[in-house]
A and B are shown apart, each in its own frame.
Chain A
């Protein structure tokens, strides 16, 4: 599903290049649950942003579902966002002025899903996440864990083939974090959604099927996780 070849990312400042990513080559297949780990400044988030096409690599090749996306124009990129990619953020990034239901509905609006179907899909997801009672609340009326649930629900409602999560549990207490991880695992196993997450936590990484260890912009290790949990 994702093919990265020789991805480089650096910022040139007064002729000095400071590298964020070097020679990153890897591929992620449909249905994998990949965790990207590494110390601060290793380039984890940058890699995820490149995967999500939020940043462009300075150099290298990136194919998403068989399509070269490095030089993709905005319209095509937005098409991919609408149909294939769901984002989950550490800071949830819900729209404060919208209720839970409206937040979840937003991507469907952009996907031009007809009104009745929108309603039923939002209702479905609320039901699945046990949040029907909260559908009319605003984000600031929810706890962090609940907000992140809404964030995930919003990512899922458009039925993406891949979810990109940047430290999805970074702002949460451990019990809530475990709940989210369980949810990811379930989505990955039951619905076959590809998940790529950036995380600091070994525990979280253990939920995945594969771990990429990043150090100073280079992939140091690429290990398959033995399912113990």
Chain B
């Protein structure tokens, strides 16, 4: 029986090739999108899993509350905090400090391999860390390997890279930052790609030197602290001890109110507020968003299926009648039709798998994650696919199966089943309205995202971004001595217009804020964003001075330039008024010599902050070079060779200001690509769904159409008649979609401090687009219905 049913199912699919094709096409695209989303989410949700004692591992993070301002968060903690927690928290079984840093690593050449010289991130880590996060050590053991200064341990792949074979690494030396010789004392298994710990070069924490090593006042986001709580210790009960710790160690009376939280390991990959060493964060909102989009896609695909299957049901009525007369029970028929649906779903899933495989490289590119469609590596994908087949078969197949199997055999055999018997048209209409509402929401979303992206590209940041190269420079005191000669050399290159040293570009993610005093002995109640720049910063980035002059030539904090926002915050209306007044910050009192027109110091997500510029050669790590756009390429080559001549021991690294700025909007870029793709998929699926519905209606109204034709209706009039009801549905769908998409996009736009005005156009375009799609689809099918010979419909048996 099953074999027979399968044979009949296949024959039916073949007989109605057109239906089968659009059914499978729509379904497989929907399924492929679902698979992609699932694979991506599986990868994202696999982060930081599978360590021993997973649920007892916490990271200590910090926050500050300023009066009138929001809470400000950092994943970093004051450097002495780890020791304090170890000392004061009996609940903590293990505590470890981790300090991120970076520098040039050199491994001397041997007879068999060349010298290695590369810029690399390094991590100073206390050995206790490896009691918290347990990974496999191939050689050495952390307690010994990292317990004395000037030792380093390497991940397997890094050891392979530096020494050819990791087995050769232990006992050898590497040179770090051109000043430290570190002895390799251990090799550990690579941290997996889906981990928040990109540790490859791990130096013993005792090697770490910093002037703030004992300071509770200075916090860098590079200093993290990990804690393994004792079994049975309750993380929520730690509030009181944390308050005690703050009370014990922090200076009283600072403006920002410090606080610390214990953040569970399982939260680290998903919490935007704090980020992590890997800089890969998957906010929960995005995960939910993707799940919603995936369910929508699945839903629209199933809706299609229902519409198409019931439209086709009439042609199966005779078979149903005969089967019933032969003694088939309704249940058996339901099973037959359900298994047909399952067959189609399986075929669609196979095609979807191919599509997924094809789309995966693009996806990998988009998210720069190591995602793979490996059934054997991740059997959960296989489980998901099986579930998908079951759910889709049931969702899509059950209703049509109930309808078809419910036909009365007497009527069915006499071919008296008209489409009117094949289920409520109202339901189908409602389904198509839902589809179109989803489509419209996605179209509006896509248009708004694209609009905002081009707005940000076009919006002036208050400074020149064109043809400016940002070149990293080493910031050790020896290298600093060479800055001036390098500058001279580069200024002589053809096409170079200006050169400036600083610690950050005008728009940068790397902003330092600091408390300050203005004409008073008390700290102001807001923070000042400070940038260390030389005097050429203003003309290199074409910042506009609206009062005063640029900085004088100096290497230390002597005078300062402030921005308009600071004046506003201090309630100063005339920029000349502040000239000559004193600002005290970083322990220095400096006169204001100039006021600069506001420029965006973060991305356009954020407001312009009150900012001060002053010279401080000690922290310069960036050289900005303004060039003639036409001579960019030659100039860049010349800059690189001059740079390498000046700093032979370091590795040249440069980028363009424009690229830096677009990197601020990476999430938005990913978002807009996703929106475009999914909007395209949903439009395609709804197109097919609409085709299914109009086919159904055309079948249902064949007789009516024929009668009307015989009464003198022209094809054009009939097409218009069939179109009008659909246009109403599209209008209703849009009316539903407007408020929904308005809520979504205005919420999304709120993430930008500077946003393109939300006009009615995206909504109008979405409606026009759906109307056009409807007209095309409906006209295509209804033309066929309206131009068939009426006698075929009016003949009686």
Task: Say if A and B assemble together.
Answer: yes
Which residue numbers of A lie inside 8 Å of B, CB to CB? 45, 49, 52, 54-55, 74-75, 78-79, 81-82, 87, 89-91, 93-97, 106-107, 110-111, 154, 158
Q: Is B794 an interface residue (CB 8 A)?
A: yes
A132 → B minimal CB distance (Å): 22
**Would you call B708 and A106 a contact (CB within 8 A)?**
yes
Rounded to whole angstroms, the CA-CA distance of A75 and B717 in the bound complex is 12
Q: Is the CB of B712 within 8 A of A110?
A: yes
Of the A-B pairs whose beta carbons lie under 8 Å apart in the complex, a sample of 26, sorted by A's number, is A52-B710, A54-B710, A54-B789, A54-B794, A55-B791, A74-B715, A75-B714, A78-B709, A81-B711, A81-B712, A87-B710, A87-B711, A90-B796, A91-B794, A91-B796, A93-B703, A95-B704, A95-B708, A96-B420, A96-B704, A106-B708, A107-B712, A110-B712, A110-B713, A111-B712, A154-B711
CA distance A157 to B404 in the complex (A): 40
B707 closest partner in A (C-beta): A93
Contact assessment for B791 and A49 in the assembled complex, using a CB-CB cutoff below 8 Å:
yes
B7 smallest CB distance to A (angstroms): 27
Residues of A within 8 A of B789 (CB): 54-55
- Whether B710 and A110, one on each chain, are in contact in the complex, defined by CB atoms closer than 8 angstroms, is no
Of the listed residues B707, B711, B791, the one surrounded by the most CB atoms of chain A closer than 10 A to its CB is: B711
* Further pairs besides A93-B794, A95-B708, A158-B711: 9, Cβ < 8 Å: A52-B710, A54-B791, A78-B712, A81-B710, A89-B794, A96-B420, A96-B704, A110-B708, A158-B712
Bound form: Cα–Cα A82–B710 in Å: 8
Q: Are the CB atoms of A110 and B717 closer together than 8 Å? A: yes
Which residues of B pack against A, CB within 8 Å? 420, 703-704, 706-715, 717, 789-791, 794-796
Closest A residue by C-beta to B715: A74
Cβ of B711: which chain A residues have Cβ within 8 Å of it? Answer: 81-82, 87, 106-107, 110, 154, 158
- Give the distance in Å from the alpha carbon of A55 to the alpha carbon of B790 in the complex: 9
Which residue on B lies nearest to A45, using beta carbons?
B795
Residues of B within 8 A of A89 (CB): 794
**Bound Cα distance A78, B711 (Å):** 8
**Chain B residue at smallest Cβ distance from A81:** B712
Contact B713 A95 (CB under 8 A): no
Residues of B within 8 A of A52 (CB): 710
Tell me if B791 and A78 are in contact (CB < 8 A): no
Complex Cα distance A221/B712, Å?
34
Write out the residue numbers on chain A whose beta carbons fall within 8 Å of the beta carbon of B791: 49, 54-55
Cross-chain contact B714 with A74 (CB below 8 angstroms): yes
Shortest beta-carbon distance, A202 to chain B, in Å? 22
Distance in angstroms from B467 CB to nearest chain A CB is 65
Q: How far is the CA of A144 from the CA of B476 in the complex (A)?
A: 103
Given A54-B789, A89-B794, A90-B796, is A97 in contact with B704 using a C-beta cutoff of 8 Å? yes
Cα A93 to Cα B794 in complex, Å, equals 8
A110 to chain B, nearest CB (A): 4
Question: Cβ of A78: which chain B residues have Cβ within 8 Å of it?
Answer: 709, 712-714
Distance in angstroms from A25 CB to nearest chain B CB is 23
Which chain A residue shows the least CB distance to B705? A95
Residues of chain B contacted by A49 (CB below 8 angstroms): 791
Q: Shortest CB–CB separation between residue A43 and chain B, in angstroms?
A: 14
Residue of A nearest to B710 (CB): A87
CB-CB under 8 A from B703, the residues of chain A are 93
CB distance from B708 to the nearest CB of A (A): 7
Give the Cβ gap from A40 to chain B, nearest Cβ, in Å. 12
Please name all residues of chain B whose beta carbon is closer than 8 Å to the beta carbon of A55 when the two chains form the complex. 789, 791
Q: Tell me how far the C-beta of B419 lies from the nearest C-beta in chain A, rounded to whole angstroms.
A: 12
Nearest chain B CB to A19 CB, angstrom units: 18
Q: Are A95 and B707 in contact (CB under 8 A)?
A: yes
Q: Which residues of chain B are within 8 angstroms of A94 by Cβ–Cβ distance?
A: 707
The contact of A82 among B420, B712, B794, by CB within 8 Å, is B712
B790 contact set on A, CB distance < 8 A = 54
B710: chain A residues within 8 A (beta carbon): 52, 54, 81, 87
User: 4 tightest CB-CB pairs across the interface, nearest first?
Assistant: A82-B712, A110-B712, A54-B791, A81-B712
Q: In the complex, what distance in Å separates the CA atom of A89 from the CA atom of B703?
A: 12
- Give the chain A neighbours of B707 by CB distance below 8 A: 93-95
List B contacts of A54 (CB < 8 A): 710, 789-791, 794
CB of A50, distance to nearest CB on chain B (Å): 10
Kindly provide the distance from the CB of B791 to the nearest chain A CB, expressed in whole angstroms: 4
Instruction: Report the nearest A residue to B793, measured CB to CB.
Output: A93
A97 contacts which chain B residues (CB < 8 A)? 704
**Nearest-Cβ distance from residue A55 to partner chain B, whole angstroms:** 6
- Taken together as a complex, chains A and B put the C-alpha atoms of A186 and B707 apart, in Å, by 25
Cα-based distance from A178 to B717 in the complex (angstroms) = 37
Q: Given the complex of chains A and B, what is the CA–CA distance between A107 and B711 in angstroms?
A: 5
Residues of B near A75 (CB, < 8 A) are: 714
Contacts of A106 in B (CB 8 A): 708, 711
A150 to chain B, nearest CB (A): 12
- Determine the chain A residues whose CB is within 8 A of the CB of B713 once the complex forms: 78, 110
Query: In the complex, A91 Cα to B789 Cα: how many Å?
Result: 18
Q: Which residues of the partner chain B approach A158 to less than 8 Å between Cβ atoms?
A: 711-712
Q: For residue B420, which residues in chain A have a CB less than 8 angstroms away from its CB?
A: 96
A154 to B712, alpha carbons, bound, how many Å? 12
**A96 vs B707: C-alpha distance in the bound complex, in angstroms?**
11
| In the bound complex, CA of A106 to CA of B718 (Å) | 13
Question: CB-nearest residue of chain B relative to A154?
Answer: B711
- Can you name the residue of chain A whose Cβ is closest to the Cβ of B420? A96
Chain A hits for B714, CB < 8 A: 74-75, 78, 110
CA distance A54 to B793 in the complex (A): 11
Cα–Cα, bound, A54→B714 (Å): 14
Contacts of B715 in A (CB 8 A): 74
Give min CB distance, A58 to chain B, whole Å. 15
CA distance A91 to B707 in the complex (A): 12
User: Nearest CB to that of B418 among chain A residues?
Assistant: A96
- CA gap between A90 and B708 in the complex, in Å: 16
- Docked Cα-Cα span, A200 to B492, in Å, equals 109
Complex: A89 Cα to B714 Cα, angstroms: 20
Chain A residues with CB below 8 A from B794, complex form: 54, 89, 91, 93
Query: Shortest distance in angstroms between B424's beta carbon and chain A's nearest beta carbon?
Result: 15
Beta-carbon nearest neighbor of B704 in chain A: A95
CA distance A49 to B713 in the complex (A): 18
Residue in A closest to B796 when the chains form the complex, CB atoms: A91
B710 nearest CB across to chain A (Å): 5
CA distance A94 to B708 in the complex (A): 10
Closest to A112 in B: B712
In the bound complex, CA of A110 to CA of B714 (Å): 8
By a CB distance below 8 angstroms, the chain B residues around A111 are: 712
List, in ascending order, chain A residues with CB within 8 A of B717's CB.
110
Which one of A54, A74, A89, A97 has the highest number of Cβ atoms from chain B below 10 Å of its Cβ? A54
Write the chain A residue with the least CB distance to B714.
A78
User: A82, A87, A93 — which one has the most chain B CB atoms within 10 A of its CB?
Assistant: A93
Residues of A within 8 A of B708 (CB): 95, 106, 110
A89 CA / B707 CA spacing, docked (Å): 10
CA distance A134 to B794 in the complex (A): 25
Measured between beta carbons, the chain A residues less than 8 angstroms from B796 are 90-91
Chain B residues near A107: list those with CB within 8 A: 711-712
> In this complex, which of B704, B710, B713, B795 has the most chain A Cβ atoms within 10 angstroms of its Cβ?
B710
Return A53 CB to nearest CB of chain B, in Å.
Answer: 10
Min C-beta distance of B719 to chain A, whole Å: 13
